[in-house]
Copies of this chain bind each other. A is one copy, B any other.
Amino acid sequence: MLKLLLTTSLLLAMIPIPPSDALAQHRREAVDLLVLGGSIVTMDQTRRIIDDGGIAISKGRIVAIGPRAEIERAYTSRQRVSAEGKVITPGLINGHTHIPMVLFRGLADDLDLQEWLTKYIFPAEAKNVTEQFVRVGARLGLAEMIRGGTTTYCDMYYFEDAIADETAKAGVRGVLGETIIDFPVADNKTNAEGMAYVEKFVARWKGNDLIIPAIAPHAPYTVSEEHLKAVRAFSDRTGVPIVTHIAETKREVDDMVKAKGASPVAYLERIGFLNNRVIAAHMVWPQGNDIAILQRRGVGVIHNPQSNMKLAAGVAPVPRMLKEGVLLGLGTDGAASNNDLNMWEEMDTVAKLHKVFTGDPKVISAQQAFEFATIRGAQALHLEKEIGSLEVGKRADLLIVDRDTLNQIPVYNIYSDLVYATKAADVETVIINGRVVMRDRRLLTLNETVVKKEARAFRDKIIKSVGGSSAP
């Protein structure tokens, strides 16, 4: 808190207030924070870009947005951030993660998905995942995400209550799903335990400004029909989102067709599981009528291009889903299968991958790629009324991005620059819910040195847990 106050004073010291301001001040509305200068990429309905813009923020929300001069005439604030010469964008939305898995980053690569899961990831999880592991991993992942401009992420893991606690402390927005799975896991040994955990978890966080608690049945092939129906009933009763994996691999689809006589989507539709609170990661292999079902039910789909590439899961039919009106967002997946939490690289990849895969260089534009990480991502998380664009009434989740790095010169088109040329390291300042969580590349809510040290301390134990050495 002291740190934040100091920060505010520093900002004040840096931007001299002209004498006339003192006189005019009584006529202006006082707000918590003003962001002034720079080009604002609003991602609103008209995709308005405001040059030399200004944003007034109060109580975590955008009060006004427009040309800088107008904002300065109408609002005053003790806290100001200058974005002169820079770009202001909505915070990025990472639609699918398993955040503590940053601690398994690079533990095992270049393997078949089954081998990777059964020989490395599951054993490593069985032997390492504790509440402390999850907290340390979450802090490392949160620090990486803030540095890269992610302001909202959608997670599925264990001890999600501890992840929520760390996320709220770091000042980051999260749709956080506690895993429900039909085998014993680190935090819950039975389905009954899991459902009891979720009940408490949701009760604790519901209504929080930053945390949207969710229930996360792992996948239709790891959770029984009965348990999936209970998950849906729980979501109906509490209103929380359902985070899950659907149709990641061809094998999953084939197995489901054998077992249930239907594709995963068709099966979930048949048992009445799908609705507009479901957030489905991957969707690499929708079959037959599946895309129409997803569209009709308002299911949010999260595409994870780099993870799907690295595990050779396949290429999701993103252009078709887009055309048929499916709500589509973008995610990194866990860092064990990516190997980072970098949304800039996902944006770059989503555009390039579908161009080459369809043979059509126009199939996904830079602007559409940026939409996936902002307003469309918000739609896929069913949060489009709160986040995803910079508009009056929405949460003040935004980035100030440096445009002076060598890789960004010159700029002809703002979306091209953001998607094909901007790097995570170019993000300078991050504001979430009106709070500055990174300023001029300095993290304000996490102690980076401690975060790194604590994360490294897990390394040797993790290596031993998978048999003494890491994968080749």
Contacts A/B (CB < 8 Å), 7 sampled: A107-B412, A110-B365, A309-B352, A309-B353, A312-B355, A406-B451, A411-B459
Would A362 and B420 be within 8 Å (CB), given that A309-B356, A352-B309, A471-B413 are in contact? no
Q: In whole Å, how far is A307's beta carbon from the nearest beta carbon of chain B?
A: 9
Is A358 at the interface (CB under 8 A from chain B)?
A: yes
Q: Is the CB of B410 within 8 A of A458?
A: yes
Q: Is the CB of B411 within 8 A of A358?
A: no
Q: Is the CB of B106 within 8 A of A411?
A: yes
How far does the alpha carbon of A407 sit from the alpha carbon of B106 in the complex, in Å? 11
How far does the alpha carbon of A311 sit from the alpha carbon of B355 in the complex, in Å? 7
Q: Which of A297-342 contact B (CB under 8 A)?
A: 306, 308-315, 338-342
The one of B311, B340, B365 that contacts A361, using a Cβ cutoff of 8 Å: B311
**Which segment of A153-161, A181-189, A421-429 sits at the interface?**
A421-429
Task: List chain B residues, Cβ under 8 A from A351.
Answer: 110, 310
Task: List chain B residues, Cβ under 8 A from A338.
Answer: 420
Would A452 and B409 be within 8 Å (CB), given that A306-B352, A358-B312 are in contact? yes
**Which segment of A68-76, A139-147, A371-379 sits at the interface?**
A139-147
How far does the alpha carbon of A404 sit from the alpha carbon of B147 in the complex, in Å? 14
Interface string of A91-105 (1 = CB under 8 A from B): 000000000001101
Copies of this chain, how many? 2
Is A112 at the interface (CB under 8 A from chain B)?
A: yes
Q: Is the CB of B361 within 8 A of A310?
A: yes
The one of B103, B342, B364, B421 that contacts A339, using a Cβ cutoff of 8 Å: B421
Interface string of A132-150 (1 = CB under 8 A from B): 0000000010011001000
Task: List chain B residues, Cβ under 8 A from A458.
Answer: 410
How far does the alpha carbon of A341 sit from the alpha carbon of B409 in the complex, in Å? 12
How far does the alpha carbon of A348 sit from the alpha carbon of B353 in the complex, in Å? 13
Q: Is the CB of B356 within 8 A of A404?
A: no
Task: List chain B residues, Cβ under 8 A from A353.
Answer: 309, 353, 356
Task: List chain B residues, Cβ under 8 A from A143.
Answer: 406
What is the total number of residues of chain A having a CB less than 8 Å from a CB of chain B? 73
The one of B308, B342, B416, B417 that contacts A356, using a Cβ cutoff of 8 Å: B308
Q: Is the CB of A147 within 8 A of B406?
A: yes
Would A410 and B113 be within 8 Å (CB), given that A312-B358, A425-B423 are in contact? no
Q: Is the CB of A406 within 8 A of B105?
A: no
How far does the alpha carbon of A463 sit from the alpha carbon of B412 in the complex, in Å? 8
How far does the alpha carbon of A340 sit from the alpha carbon of B359 in the complex, in Å? 22
Q: Is the CB of B417 within 8 A of A366?
A: no
How far does the alpha carbon of A448 sit from the alpha carbon of B358 in the complex, in Å? 40
How far does the alpha carbon of A384 sit from the alpha carbon of B421 in the complex, in Å? 31
Is A111 at the interface (CB under 8 A from chain B)?
A: yes
**Which of A110, A366, A455 counts the most chain B CB atoms within 10 A?**
A110
Q: In whole Å, how far is A458's beta carbon from the nearest beta carbon of chain B?
A: 7
How far does the alpha carbon of A228 sit from the alpha carbon of B370 in the complex, in Å? 44
How far does the alpha carbon of A4 sit from the alpha carbon of B458 in the complex, in Å? 41
The one of B102, B109, B425 that contacts A413, using a Cβ cutoff of 8 Å: B109
Is A456 at the interface (CB under 8 A from chain B)?
A: yes
How far does the alpha carbon of A310 sit from the alpha carbon of B349 in the complex, in Å? 9
Nearest to A449 among chain B residues (CB) is: B404
Task: List chain B residues, Cβ under 8 A from A448.
Answer: 406
Q: Is the CB of B406 within 8 A of A452?
A: yes
Is A360 at the interface (CB under 8 A from chain B)?
A: yes
Is A84 at the interface (CB under 8 A from chain B)?
A: no
How far does the alpha carbon of A349 sit from the alpha carbon of B410 in the complex, in Å? 24
